[in-house]
């Protein structure tokens, strides 16, 4: 048996557990008539399984971390755009996952991306100047 690093084990367990836990949601969303969310969940489960297999076979953690966080970003933004405010509560655990898995600078970029996308959806009346001021303040904290 191959000796695996903590980072490898974390990614293997996280991606496998998330794929198993999200799998029933595909069926539930399909039965409830939420076809777009069922497709999104199916894509997410497929990418999670791919990430798990990729890490297991190659032990390349850095690429898998980025791929996994892109999937989490995509899932959060899509859920907020499709289902609106109830899925906003998933933003907090996502931000924690970013900082737990990625370096601070990369996690900050992912957080800025997710928050900006969600803000564009939830605050359509925000002026362009307000958006730029919020983004500039966020950017200065990343440096």
Q: Are 71 and 48 in contact (CB under 8 A)?
A: yes
Average pLDDT score over residue span 12-27: 90
In order of 73, 87, 97, the CA distances from 91 in angstroms are 9, 8, 10
pLDDT in tens, 24-51: 999 999 999 989 889 988 998 999 999 9
Nearest to 101 by CA among 70, 80, 138: 70
Distant-in-sequence, close-in-space partners of 52: CB < 8 Å, separation ≥ 6: 11, 12, 15, 16, 19
Does residue 5 contact residue 62 with C-beta atoms inside 8 Å? no
Does the structure show a pLDDT above 60 at 126? no
139 pLDDT higher than 80: no
State the average pLDDT for the chain. 84
Report the pLDDT value the prediction gives residue 75, as an integer from 0 to 100. Answer: 84
Q: Is the dihedral of CA 89, 13, 51, 112 positive or negative?
A: positive
């Amino acid at each position: 048996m191959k000796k695996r690093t903590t980072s490898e084990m974390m990614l293997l367990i996280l991606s496998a557990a998330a794929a198993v836990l999200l799998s029933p949601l595909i069926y539930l969303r399909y039965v409830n008539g939420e076809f777009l969310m069922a497709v999104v969940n199916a894509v997410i489960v497929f990418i999670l399984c791919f990430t798990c297999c990729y890490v297991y076979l190659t032990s390349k953690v850095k690429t898998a971390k980025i791929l996994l966080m892109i999937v989490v970003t995509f899932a959060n933004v899509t859920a907020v755009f499709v289902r609106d405010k109830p899925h906003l509560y998933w933003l907090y655990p996502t931000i924690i996952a970013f900082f737990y898995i990625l370096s601070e600078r990369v996690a900050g970029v992912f957080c800025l991306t997710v928050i900006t996308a969600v803000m564009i959806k939830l605050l359509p009346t925000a002026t362009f100047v307000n958006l730029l001021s919020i983004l500039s303040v966020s950017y200065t904290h990343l440096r």
